[in-house]
Amino acid sequence: MPQPGVGEIRGAALLLTVATSILSIQSTPVLINCTFSVFLIMPSETLFDYSHVDLGCTFIDRAGLRKYIDQRGAVEQLDRVCWVNEDRTECVAVREVSDDEWWHDGHIPGNPLLPGVLMVETAAQLSTFLYRYKMEMLDGGVKNFVGFAGINDTRFRSPVAPGDTLTLIIKERKFTPRRILAETQAYIGCENGQLGKLVFETTILGMQLVDVKRQTANA
């Protein structure tokens, strides 16, 4: 099922109505009607069952990903792709979180945590890969730059630290030759045949910029 949009509630919303609240003002009782909502953020359902995927498998390594993703150096976030389904609408990938990354000492001293913005960037790069990989099958590939056009429904559910392996799953929701809308979830503690702990989720909009040619396709 599609996930709710921004401002909507995953799961259920509990509406509490306080019908009679008595305040004492100068010893005179005043009757006030007050209505408010308490929102319960429920755990999201897994986008798809990835327990069949061999997480130790390398379908495409970091060097191979450079055919599809333009980021280089310290900004490259994905280490490998483990699996892509036949119609190229679902994918499982891995990002290893190490203690020698550029953000380690500053975010946060004494308690290093992978910045949320890098989790979002990882999801954006994975959506770019999925889009280009599908376009390669449909139209021989994309020569233009693919830009990060927007995010929705982003939630950070648990910290990610050096030593963690971030397993990302992505599912295409909408696709055209110009753009992709895809949901991504990230998990830690995954093992073959066993689902891990959800730590992050978002929906990414990526768009082909027809006036901007790729500069790094062969780099």
Q: How far apart are CA 137 and CA 158, in angstroms?
A: 36
In angstroms, what CA-CA distances link 137 with 133, 149, 170, 218?
7, 23, 18, 19
| Predicted local distance difference test score (pLDDT) of residue 9 | 35
Query: What pTM value is reported for the model?
Result: 0.80
Residue 138 main-chain phi, psi, to 5 deg: -85, -40
- Supply the mean pLDDT for the chain: 84
Amino acid 61 reads D
What is the per-residue pLDDT across 149-158, written as a single tens digit (0 to 9) for each? 999 999 999 9
Which sequence positions are flagged as catalytic?
A: 107
Of 129, 200, 132, 205, give the one whose Cα is nearest residue 168.
Answer: 200
Q: What does DSSP assign to residue 191?
A: B
Nearest to 71, CA basis, from 124, 115, 119, 107: 124
Identify the structural domains of the chain with CATH numbers, from first to last.
1-42 (no CATH), 60-213 (3.10.129.10)
**pLDDT (tens digit per residue) in 24-75:** 334 444 443 444 344 445 668 999 999 999 999 999 999 999 999 999 999 9
